[in-house]
Amino acid sequence: MDQNQLKQAVAQAALDYTLAKLDSDSVLGIGTGSTANCFIDLLANHKHLFLGTVASSEDSATRLRDHGISVFELNAVSEVTIYVDGADEANAHLELIKGGGAALTREKIVTAVANEFICIADESKWVSHLGKFPLPVEVIPMARSYVARELVKLGGDPVWRENVITDNGNLILDVHHLYPIASACALEEKINQITGVVTNGLFALKPADVLFLATQDGIVKHLAGSSN
Ligand code: 5RP
């Protein structure tokens, strides 16, 4: 299978898992990116089974609405049953790097609200240690240079993702050369403490609950807290 077929397969596995947990009052959290898009397209055939969705980006909200799926403001929703999203890297602790699509802040917010976070990825995202993928950091525009200098002090090599403005009106710094990240939780906290940082793309303090990984041998289900 090529990478696109793997994404389709993992989206189908997540759909089967998710549909079994939904009722007519359920609100689903929907992530951003090409794997999440596969999930959205499959979800369209089942939109009568749940109340609606909240989206982690304007792009995903548009795609959902184009399928006739309701999209709510997060502030209008008291509970998100499940959040389904992709990742740029995932390790055996289900700690992730996300934000390749610049949607990391809204992704982290929906993750915080959701009862369960299901990550979907093809095997190219599975790593022993995080950090080869440059770590995205969303920053307030006027703080860009200051935050970059602070990230250098942490040993990183930040690169401004020029021409990208996030859905929140902010900028992205991609931090290279952090590999191997020894403690993802500690680094997530440390970067978030830099004034001017909105958030960073480490999802370690609240990792995924379940990871569906598409491999050439089939879908492998990883659970948080298991030895995998
Ligand atoms: C967007 C993300 C995506 O989940 C991540 O970049 C993976 O994308 P794709 O499924 O296209 O590989 O974090 O901000």
Q: Count Cβ atoms below 10 Å from residue 59 Cβ, excluding itself.
A: 17
- Tokens 């997540």 identify what position? 14
Q: Is the CB of 32 under 6 A from ligand 1?
A: yes
Q: For residue 7, how many C-alpha atoms fall within 13 Å in the half-sphere facing its CB?
A: 18
Q: Is the CB of 138 under 6 A from ligand 1?
A: no
pLDDT in tens, 96-146: 999 999 999 999 999 999 999 999 999 999 999 999 999 999 999 999 999
Q: Count Cβ atoms below 10 Å from residue 109 Cβ, excluding itself.
A: 15
pLDDT in tens, 39-88: 999 999 999 999 999 999 999 999 999 999 999 999 999 999 999 999 99
C-alpha 52 – ligand 1 centre gap (Å): 22
Residues serving a catalytic function are 107
Give me the pLDDT at residue 228, please.
53
What are the two backbone dihedrals, phi and then psi, of residue 135, each rounded to the nearest 5 degrees?
-80, 115
C-alpha 100 – ligand 1 centre gap (Å): 5
Q: Count Cβ atoms below 10 Å from residue 123 Cβ, excluding itself.
A: 14
H runs (alpha helix) in 20-173? 34-43, 58-66, 104-113, 144-153
